[in-house]
């Protein structure tokens, strides 16, 4: 099982996807956690669950807001007794490019606060629901100019979030024993994921459980197998180094914990559709 770079059907000229009244299904086999370059907004309307984002677990409840920037592993686990009901918006940040108006503001500023989980006041959620309903109707009717309307509504939502400055809720003491245990494991992995010796048997031995038990709990609470999680963490680190440094591909491959340069090339192209060298050229932009 691998983590997937999530994709949805959309017009390349309008990278936007909207799920209206998305209900969690606790009977469904655990999904693979997903990641993507797009930004994601999740409004929790009702019900409960747990949202695994990066290496943290966040309880989900009514009026919660989740803001997830690109390239962050995330996976929602619905409650069995009372599964969550959400509205979900995904969009590529390129949609939010706006002209310079002499007023320093970015629609993406709410995603730069290093927080994923917020709590909306009831009256603020009501304002967002009005925008979300309009979005839903635009997608149902698809009249002339509906994409412009969707973009306008998305800008309205992001502007509201920036102005409302929703509170960060306390989350301590609300996680299951498995999630609390796994949280410590994930922090350890975050410090050592580039180590070639970081394996399932080694982690299970350190946690004083069998590899089978460790693997089962890890997949249940994160939605991934351990190799899939390590693979995505290494991929993100490799992208960062390719983008921001002049280090050789071979050095980056070794520094990120890949078995060989050829394996690094293979996994990188499998997930991103291009080789590390091609990605670096794209990131550098056109020559001047």
Give every strand in the sheet of 34-35, ordered side by side. Answer: 4-5, 34-35, 74-78, 49-53, 56-60
Residue 9: per-residue pLDDT: 54
Residue 3: per-residue pLDDT: 45
Residue 4: per-residue pLDDT: 43
92-139: pLDDT as tens digits: 998 887 666 667 788 999 998 889 999 999 999 999 999 999 999 999
pTM, full prediction: 0.81
Of 84, 91, 81, the residue nearest 22 (C-alpha): 84
Assign domain 177-284 to its CATH superfamily.
Homeodomain-like (1.10.10.60)
Residue 35: per-residue pLDDT: 54
Residue 287: per-residue pLDDT: 40
Residue 181: per-residue pLDDT: 83
- Residue-range domain boundaries for the chain: 4-164, 177-284
Fold of 4-164: Jelly Rolls (2.60.120)
- Name residues of the chain where pLDDT drops below 50: 1-8, 31-33, 173, 286-288
| Whole-number Å distance between alpha carbons of 53 and 66 | 10
């Amino acid at each position: 099982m691998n983590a997937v770079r999530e994709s949805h059907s959309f017009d390349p000229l309008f990278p936007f996807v909207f799920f209206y009244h998305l209900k969690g299904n606790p009977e469904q086999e655990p999904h693979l956690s997903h990641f993507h370059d797009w930004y994601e907004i999740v409004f929790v309307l009702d019900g409960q669950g747990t949202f695994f984002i990066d290496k943290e677990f966040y309880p989900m409840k009514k009026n919660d807001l989740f803001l997830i920037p690109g390239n962050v592993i995330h996976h929602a686990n619905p409650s069995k007794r009372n599964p969550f009901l959400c509205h979900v918006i995904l969009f590529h940040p390129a949609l939010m490019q706006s002209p310079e108006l002499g007023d320093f503001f970015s629609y993406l500023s709410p995603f730069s606060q290093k927080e994923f989980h917020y709590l909306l006041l009831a009256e603020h959620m009501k304002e967002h629901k009005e925008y979300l309903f309009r979005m839903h109707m635009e997608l149902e009717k698809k009249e002339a100019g509906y994409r412009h309307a969707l973009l306008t509504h998305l800008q309205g939502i992001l502007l509201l979030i920036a102005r409302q400055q929703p509170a960060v809720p306390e989350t301590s003491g609300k996680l299951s024993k498995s999630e609390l245990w796994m949280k410590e494991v994930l922090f350890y992995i975050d410090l050592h994921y580039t180590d070639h010796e970081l394996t399932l048997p080694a982690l299970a031995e350190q946690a004083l459980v069998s590899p089978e038990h460790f693997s089962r709990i890890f997949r249940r609470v994160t939605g991934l197998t351990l190799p899939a999680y390590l693979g995505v963490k290494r991929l993100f680190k490799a992208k960062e180094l390719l983008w921001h440094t002049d280090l050789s591909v071979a050095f980056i491959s070794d520094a990120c914990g890949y078995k060989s340069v050829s394996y690094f090339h293979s996994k990188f192209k499998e997930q991103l559709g291009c080789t590390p060298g091609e990605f670096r050229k794209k990131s550098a932009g056109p020559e001047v």
